[in-house]
Amino acid sequence: MKKEKLIYEGKAKKVYQTDNPELLIQEFKDDATAFDAKKRGTIRNKGACNNEISARLFGILETKGISTHFVKLLSGREMLVKRLEIIPVEVTIRNVVAGGMAKLLGLEEGKKLKAPVLEYHYKSDALHDPLINEYHIFALELASNKEMKAIARYSFEINHILLKFFDQRDLKLVDFKLEFGRHKDKILLGDEISPDTCRLWDKSTDKKLDKDRFRRDLGDIEEAYQEVLRRVLS
């Protein structure tokens, strides 16, 4: 598979065209950002960790009937993916109060929710990914009712699968972000699933093993990503 023109570079990934118009190469970077890129840094080997973690989790989801954009690993930092038309709606699933939910509602972090909470955010760095609801989505024609029903169903199914997967590895899935896109006539899961996009706490100690260690200057950032990789591959 030949890597061709760079078509997108975000905060954590680069995406390249290939000689097949249906396939792209997604390359994971070591760059780290937080607070709408106001805080910047580098986490050594983060890209390689996130590439391998995402590949493993996409593979698990595929075996459970969740269609994703993942095709195969190409190298330590690269995976081959299907080209998607990304729907500009980010999905957040919350199992435990943390981060934005704690701040928005004035709640203490760590409270287990009675049921998972699904949130939608408009995908816009310039607007800081504001919280929206289905009325906004339909009024702005970001996605159809059928598409959003599928996205909500897939999101809860993914949460159910990953909760069990991480629990078996002594990790608590606090919350996580998902992105979906259109591929022909189907909705597929895209982007990545990694400590960049999930809050993962050690089940026994509640030690944070995700990007919050970078956001909050908690130290041991590289070690946290390596620990998640070790457990995910176990």
Sign of the Cα torsion 148, 84, 127, 58 reads positive
| Distance from C-alpha of 113 to C-alpha of 96, rounded to nearest angstrom | 5
Predicted local confidence at residue 1, as pLDDT:
77
Helices (H), the chain: 46-63, 99-105, 134-139, 145-167, 212-215, 221-233
Taking the C-alpha atoms of residue 43 and residue 27, their distance in angstroms, rounded to an integer, is 15
Average pLDDT over residues 12-34: 96
Q: What is the pLDDT of residues 214-233, one digit of tens each?
A: 999 999 999 999 999 999 99
Q: Say if CB 182 and CB 172 are below 8 A apart.
A: no
Mean pLDDT of 138-159: 98
Element (H, E) at 112: strand 112-122
In contact, 27 and 78? CB cutoff 8 Å? yes
pLDDT category of residue 47 using cuts at 50, 70 and 90 = very high
Q: Any idea where the domains of the chain sit in the sequence? A: 3-82, 85-222
Query: Does pLDDT of 37 surpass 80?
Result: no
Which DSSP symbol is given to 111? Answer: P
* pLDDT class of 39 with cuts at 50, 70, 90: confident
Q: What is the mean pLDDT of the chain?
A: 96
Instruction: Give dist(CA 13, CA 78) in Å, integer.
Output: 10
Show the tokens assigned to 156. Answer: 């809860």
The pair of three-digit structure tokens given for residue 60, joined into one six-digit string: 């698990």
Pairing between β-strand 85-86 and β-strand 89-96 as defined by DSSP bridges: unpaired
- State whether the Cα torsion 149-152-156-159 is positive or negative: positive
pLDDT per position as a tens digit, 157-210: 999 999 999 999 999 999 999 999 999 999 999 999 999 999 999 999 999 999
pTM equals 0.96
93 beta partners: 118, 176
Q: What kind of fold does domain 3-82 have according to CATH? A: Phosphorylase Kinase; domain 1 (3.30.200)
pLDDT greater than 90 at residue 90: yes
Select 85-222's CATH number: 3.10.129.10, 3.30.470.20, 3.40.50.2000, 3.40.225.10.
3.30.470.20
